[in-house]
């Protein structure tokens, strides 16, 4: 591949879907419909019919280790804004968010407003800045997919 061809290639967007709150296939359909090059991961193991993998995409779920590292614990405490993590209702979601960040993924699509705040809220902006990632609702993601690149 020549140098000019390489610069014209679009980069893949690495998307994580909070599958505890949204359907991964519906997010993937949007990516395909708008011809966005993507790599998609879910936060929970796949349930039911998945869209067939194509174009180098390997469907998978982000892994959660059995035990949290010190770095993960510190991050999750910051996300949850609490020192007490035992039996916190959003602990699992916060751990998956950490796995998303650790993997260097670009977009986190979720309907979990209780943890991530509502679109354009101070809390959502705080978490996006902390994690250096985009956090979007399905509607925001739909608009984002339709924007020219």
Q: Considering the domain boundaries, does residue 3 fall inside one?
A: no
Q: Considering the domain boundaries, does residue 4 fall inside one?
A: no
Q: Considering the domain boundaries, does residue 98 fall inside one?
A: yes
Our count of domains for the chain comes to 1
Q: Considering the domain boundaries, does residue 1 fall inside one?
A: no
pLDDT for 6 equals 44
pLDDT in tens, the chain (149 residues): 445 444 345 789 999 999 999 999 999 999 999 999 999 999 987 655 444 455 555 557 888 889 999 999 999 999 998 888 878 899 999 999 999 999 999 999 999 999 999 999 999 999 999 999 999 999 999 999 998 86
3-state secondary structure the chain: CCHHHHHHCCCCEEEEECCCCCCHHHHHHHHHHCCCCEEEEECCCCCCCCCCCCCCCCCEECCCCCCCCHHHHHHHHHHHCCCCCCCCCCHHHHHHHHHHHHCCCCEEECCCHHHHCCCCCHHHHHHHHHHCCEEECHHHHHHHHHCCC
Q: Considering the domain boundaries, does residue 73 fall inside one?
A: yes
> What CATH number is associated with residue 137?
3.40.50
Q: Domain containing 106: what range?
A: 11-146
pLDDT for 87 equals 81
Q: Considering the domain boundaries, does residue 124 fall inside one?
A: yes
Q: Considering the domain boundaries, does residue 22 fall inside one?
A: yes
Q: What is the pTM of this model?
A: 0.85
The C-alpha atoms of residue 79 and residue 68 are separated, in whole angstroms, by 14
Q: Considering the domain boundaries, does residue 2 fall inside one?
A: no
- Say if residues 95 and 68 touch (Cβ distance below 8 Å): yes
């Amino acid at each position: 591949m020549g140098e000019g061809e390489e610069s014209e290639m679009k980069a893949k967007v690495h998307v994580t879907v909070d599958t505890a709150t949204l359907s991964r296939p519906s997010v993937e359909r949007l990516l395909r419909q708008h011809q966005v090059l993507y790599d998609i991961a879910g936060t929970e193991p796949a349930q039911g019919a998945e869209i067939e993998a194509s174009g180098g995409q390997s469907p998978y779920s982000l892994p959660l280790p059995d035990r949290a590292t010190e770095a993960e614990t510190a991050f999750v405490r910051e996300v949850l804004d609490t020192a007490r993590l035992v039996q916190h209702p959003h602990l699992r979601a916060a751990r998956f968010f950490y796995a998303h960040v650790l993997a260097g993924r670009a977009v986190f699509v979720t309907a979990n407003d209780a943890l991530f705040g509502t679109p354009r809220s101070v809390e959502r902006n705080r978490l996006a800045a902390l994690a250096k990632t985009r956090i979007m609702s399905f509607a925001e993601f739909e608009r984002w997919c339709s924007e020219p690149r």
